[in-house]
A and B are shown apart, each in its own frame.
Chain A
Amino acid sequence: QVHLVESGGGVVQPGRSLRLSCAASGFTFSTYPMHWVRQAPGKGLDWVAVISYDGTNKYYADSVKGRFTISRDDSKNTVYLQMNSLRPQDTAVYFCARDPGFCSGTSCYIYWFFDVWGRGTPVTVSS
């Protein structure tokens, strides 16, 4: 069965850092792009970042660019989100999500929708 399990959330003061992890199982992790999507309390879904299947391409929402870094370790079937200089408005549940991806010829691409989601890890930024 396909599973994504996030961890690493918690309560942190403004300006501090936190690293989230998302462990994948049940599929060939190294062949899929992976995203982080967040949801502030009582609000809608807000995309954060994506990493391509091979880690060469990374894209970020403007709101986190320069502060957050997405990475992956295929030997551990895990995607990470390093969050620095945290702000109160970063308070949210952070979900990791799988992108189905697609390949055309010898090139593979991010599809930009989310076919499997984890249950999320909450992050609270407060003094």
Chain B
Amino acid sequence: EIVLTQSPGTLSLSPGERATLSCRASQSVTSNYLAWYQQKPGQAPRLLIYGASSRATGIPDRFSGSGSGTDFTLTISRLEPEDFAVYYCQQYANSPRYAFGQGTKLEIK
């Protein structure tokens, strides 16, 4: 059973800085079937990235995904105030095909 581990648990940065969030899988994610979601307090999650690096519709290009195999990264090039939220990764290739990471909280420093 695949397990996703996100790091760090909390990331404290200032607007304008670059954010790098990590998602590590316990086994290789087939076909890089890895998605990233953003969730703000009291709101539904929003799909940011799928297929490890494809941006979802309407997602600004400051968000980018990379990685393959067991190591994946979400990068936000220049943080905007609205980017401070919790981010989850999810793999959808291996059993169980709905496994989420535990989340990274991106907070304002």
Contact = CB atoms under 8 A, between A and B. Distances in A.
B97 A95 contact: no
A95 B44 contact: yes
Interface in B20-46: 33, 35, 37, 39, 43-46
B44 A119 contact: yes
A113 interface: yes
Given A95-B44, A115-B56, A45 B100 contact: yes
A47 B92 CA distance: 12
Contact of B47 (A112, A113, A119): A113
Contact of B92 (A45, A111, A119): A111
Given A115-B47, A117-B45, A118-B44, 9 more contacts: A44-B102, A45-B45, A45-B103, A47-B98, A95-B45, A112-B92, A113-B90, A114-B35, A119-B43
Interface of A: 35, 44-47, 50, 61, 95, 111-120
Interface of B: 33, 35, 37, 39, 43-47, 50, 56, 88, 90, 92, 96-98, 100-103
